[in-house]
Amino acid sequence: MKKHLTAIAVLLGSAGMALAEGELQLFNWGDYTNPELIKKFEDETGIKVTITDYDSNDAALAKIEAGGHGFDLVVPSANYVQIYVEKGLVQELDLSKLSNHGNIAPQWMESSYDPGRKFSVPWQWGSTGVAVNKTAYSGDINTSAIFMDPPEELVGKVNVTPEMNDVLSLAIMYEGGEPCTEDTEILKKVRDALLEAKPKWQSMDYGMTEKMAANDVMASVYWNGAIFRARLQNPDVVYGYPKEGYPLWMDQVMLLSDANNTEEAYKFLDFIMVPENAALISSFARYANGITGSEAFMPEDMKDAPEINVPAEFAAAGHFLPTCSPKAQEYYTAIWTELQK
Amino acid sequence: MASRTFTASRLPGFATVAIVVFIALYMPIAMLMIYSFNAGDSIAIWDGFSFQWYERAWENEKVKEVTIRSLVIAGSAATISTVAATMAALATTRKKPFRGQTGIYVAINQPLMVPEIVTAVALLIFFAAIKVATGYQGLGYLILAHSAFCIPFAYLPIRARLEGMDLTLETAAADLYATPWWTFRRVTLPLLAPGIVAGMMLAFVTSLDDVVITLFVKSAGQDTLPTYLLAQIRRQVTGEVNAISTVLLALTVILLTTFFLLTRKRS
């Protein structure tokens, strides 16, 4: 028994020592960090990186707010960036320590939620659009009408992802409003249109990479990277950018206020802004990264992929979703609840 | 003679309902297991038989790391909770009923009744304060938390076993001048052993499968197998997740089967 206790004590002790120098604690979404990227960083700097997974912005925020977590870097989505900043959970970056900061593409430098990128470094970004199997429908796919008013050929074959913010934003922009609007006229139109469209849908579900690839679903509201992977398996799948407006999302790395390994964290932030390394991030999770010059290092199949590189004509229709006011949130929830009945 | 007692199995449609329920319960799991042997990349299109996902999972360093961590936590938590549960079971069955005994039952079985998410949030806040104050962020917190919610799972089979045991043997040992310790060591404990092993296995499985509490309590670099799996399925489900789930399921089934064999009433 004494031997066991010693073994446990050693184990506990070693886990407790995990805060030694030359270490970095990255708190990131699951299945999102390229092991090759980490290996390259470790080889170059000698810093040992430990990755811990989370599966939602809320879970990550709750743990970080509670304190005592031991993480150095976190990767929140765009609409959570302001929350982290306002609560004082993250540090303003010392740009003099980030020699590659200029590599951030101009369009991402001037983001609405972090102007000048003083708090965050881009990780990956993508869009929510509509995917269509072109054997089922050959008309214009760059419109939210695919699910708001499905054409004859797609009736009963459309899936809508059960993501409230994405779906309602698409619907509001389709009806001519702004995401997070409190204008009840527009919201009523949105609700009526959605309720009218719903009987023409097949399902409200996830897992479309597989289902679109297998021809089980002929059209879906979905994310670009997932549809890109579906198209690699099934060339009939195409991705449309709704011209009425579509949501953009970006996840970015932020340095926590109570980080234990600040110097190592700066090295990592600078490292991922090197185009070649940014391309490694993209080659794993299959989304674009926001670093100028990374295109040259992207995997062949991603270089010209229309799902990853937004065609110029549709670029202006992409919008970051703001954090909705409590009132707008209430309207959203009310419409969403009614839609799910 | 026709039996007048009510038997559910004689209700009309009993077999049909039973079959439908079993299919609904086990079909998804069967599908998960079948696709863990898929040769293709998809989890929805069958491409032939292969062990590739098992090989990939086996070669995945992260999977190894989180599995070992899960086993260490489950092993420690099962040991601690079984010791505590055995003592609690002895104290609540081998003594005259005392005032407040019901209160003690409730306290011991509290983890079964309090919603897991409530415990998880409470532990998150409580442990975070300790983590900040002491600077210690090791596995101890997870082991402690798991030990606590595993106690009722270990306690119930041990107590059931104690209640079913014949007291006369212990009385006889005492009559023959065995000390209380000697009686416990030579009579009670050997008779109780199957209950203890069963309780320990149940505690082990419960700890191994836990997601909610682990998610809230884990510190940096402390993913367990279930929290790792949860984070994997968010973006893209691969056959690797199916393969790992199948292995986890097999392990759980083996342990639970052993549990039933041990607790089965001897004829």
- Cβ within 8 Å, pair A68-B227: no
From B222, which residue of chain A is nearest by alpha-carbon distance?
A52
Give the residue with greater pLDDT, A283 vs B265: A283
Nearest-neighbour CA in chain A from B216: distance (Å):
7
- pLDDT for the residue numbered A18: 43
Same domain, A92 and A222: no
Mean pLDDT of all residues in chain B? 86
From A63, which residue of chain B is nearest by alpha-carbon distance?
B216
Same domain, A24 and A57: yes
Name the band, by pLDDT with cuts 50, 70 and 90, for residue A137: very high
pLDDT tens, B200-211?
Answer: 999 999 999 899
Sign of CA dihedral B52, B58, B61, B66: positive
Identity of the residue in B216, B220, B234 whose CB atom sits nearest the CB atom of A30:
B234
Nearest-neighbour CA in chain B from A30: distance (Å):
4
- pLDDT for the residue numbered A26: 95
**For the residues A222-249, what does the mean pLDDT come to?**
93
- pLDDT for the residue numbered A16: 41
> CB of B28 within 8 Å of any CB in chain A?
no
- pLDDT for the residue numbered A209: 86
Enclosing H/E stretch for A255: strand A246-255
Scored b (16 or more CB within 10 A) or e, A134-152 reads: eebbeeebbbbbbbbebbe
Same domain, A88 and A230: no
Contact B28, B186 (CB under 8 A): no
- pLDDT for the residue numbered A297: 93
The two three-digit tokens of residue A294, written as one number: 């990374």
Mean pLDDT of all residues in chain A? 89
Give the residue with greater pLDDT, B265 vs B41: B41
pLDDT tens, B38-90?
Answer: 887 766 677 788 888 888 888 888 888 899 999 999 999 999 999 999 999 98
**For the residues B160-186, what does the mean pLDDT come to?**
88
**For the residues A37-43, what does the mean pLDDT come to?**
95
Residue B4 has pLDDT above 70, yes or no: no
Give the residue with greater pLDDT, A337 vs B57: A337
> CB of B117 within 8 Å of any CB in chain A?
no
Nearest-neighbour CA in chain A from B122: distance (Å):
11
The two three-digit tokens of residue A325, written as one number: 């006011």
Q: Which of A204-218, A269-283, B23-37, B61-75 has the highest mean pLDDT?
A: A269-283
> CB of B218 within 8 Å of any CB in chain A?
yes
- Cβ within 8 Å, pair A233-B41: yes
Domains of chain A: total: 2
Q: Chain-centre distance of CA A11, in angstroms?
A: 36
**For the residues B218-243, what does the mean pLDDT come to?**
83
- pLDDT for the residue numbered B62: 85
Contact A73, A254 (CB under 8 A): yes
- Cβ within 8 Å, pair A31-B234: yes
Same domain, A188 and A216: yes
> CB of A1 within 8 Å of any CB in chain B?
no
Nearest-neighbour CA in chain A from B123: distance (Å):
10
Of A152-161, A296-305, B2-11, B13-22, give the lowest mean pLDDT range: B2-11
- pLDDT for the residue numbered A201: 95
Name the band, by pLDDT with cuts 50, 70 and 90, for residue A267: very high
**For the residues B14-39, what does the mean pLDDT come to?**
89
CATH number for the domain harbouring residue A142: 3.40.190.10
Same domain, A288 and A315: no
Residue B94 has pLDDT above 90, yes or no: no
Name the band, by pLDDT with cuts 50, 70 and 90, for residue B99: confident
Nearest-neighbour CA in chain A from B212: distance (Å):
11
**For the residues A99-120, what does the mean pLDDT come to?**
91
> CB of A58 within 8 Å of any CB in chain B?
no
Identity of the residue in A52, A55, A214 whose CB atom sits nearest the CB atom of B45:
A214
* Interface test mutation site (partner B, options A38, A42, A51, A55, max chain B beta carbons within 10 A): A55
Contact A201, A160 (CB under 8 A): yes
Same domain, A212 and A228: yes
Nearest-neighbour CA in chain B from A161: distance (Å):
13
Report d(CA A268, CA B58) in Å as an integer.
29
- pLDDT for the residue numbered B70: 93
Same domain, A212 and A156: yes
Same domain, A72 and A37: yes
Report d(CA A106, CA A122) in Å as an integer.
12
Residue numbers of the domain that contains A326 = 126-248+309-340
- pLDDT for the residue numbered A58: 86
Name the band, by pLDDT with cuts 50, 70 and 90, for residue A11: very low
- pLDDT for the residue numbered A14: 44
Enclosing H/E stretch for A219: strand A219-223
> CB of B215 within 8 Å of any CB in chain A?
yes
- pLDDT for the residue numbered A196: 95
Nearest 5°: CA angle at B53, between B47 and B58? 165
Find the largest Cα–Cα distance for chain B: 74
- pLDDT for the residue numbered B140: 92
Identity of the residue in A62, A67, A211 whose CB atom sits nearest the CB atom of B44:
A211
From B223, which residue of chain A is nearest by alpha-carbon distance?
A52
Name the band, by pLDDT with cuts 50, 70 and 90, for residue A20: very low
The two three-digit tokens of residue A20, written as one number: 């030694």
Closest CA to A86 of A257, A251, A248: A257
> CB of B92 within 8 Å of any CB in chain A?
no
pLDDT tens, A171-198?
Answer: 999 999 999 999 999 999 999 999 999 9
Write down the CATH number for the domain with range B61-263. Answer: 1.10.3720.10
> CB of B136 within 8 Å of any CB in chain A?
yes
Name the band, by pLDDT with cuts 50, 70 and 90, for residue B96: confident
Q: Which of A58-62, A208-212, A261-265, B110-114 has the highest mean pLDDT?
A: A261-265
From A33, which residue of chain B is nearest by alpha-carbon distance?
B232
Radius of gyration of chain A, Cα coordinates, nearest whole angstrom: 22
> CB of B129 within 8 Å of any CB in chain A?
yes
Name the band, by pLDDT with cuts 50, 70 and 90, for residue B235: low
- Cβ within 8 Å, pair B231-A63: no
From B225, which residue of chain A is nearest by alpha-carbon distance?
A53
> CB of B124 within 8 Å of any CB in chain A?
yes
Same domain, A121 and A232: no
Same domain, A320 and A180: yes
- pLDDT for the residue numbered B132: 85
Name the band, by pLDDT with cuts 50, 70 and 90, for residue A13: very low
From A19, which residue of chain B is nearest by alpha-carbon distance?
B137
- Cβ within 8 Å, pair B235-A68: no
User: Residue ranges per domain, chain B?
Assistant: 12-50, 61-263
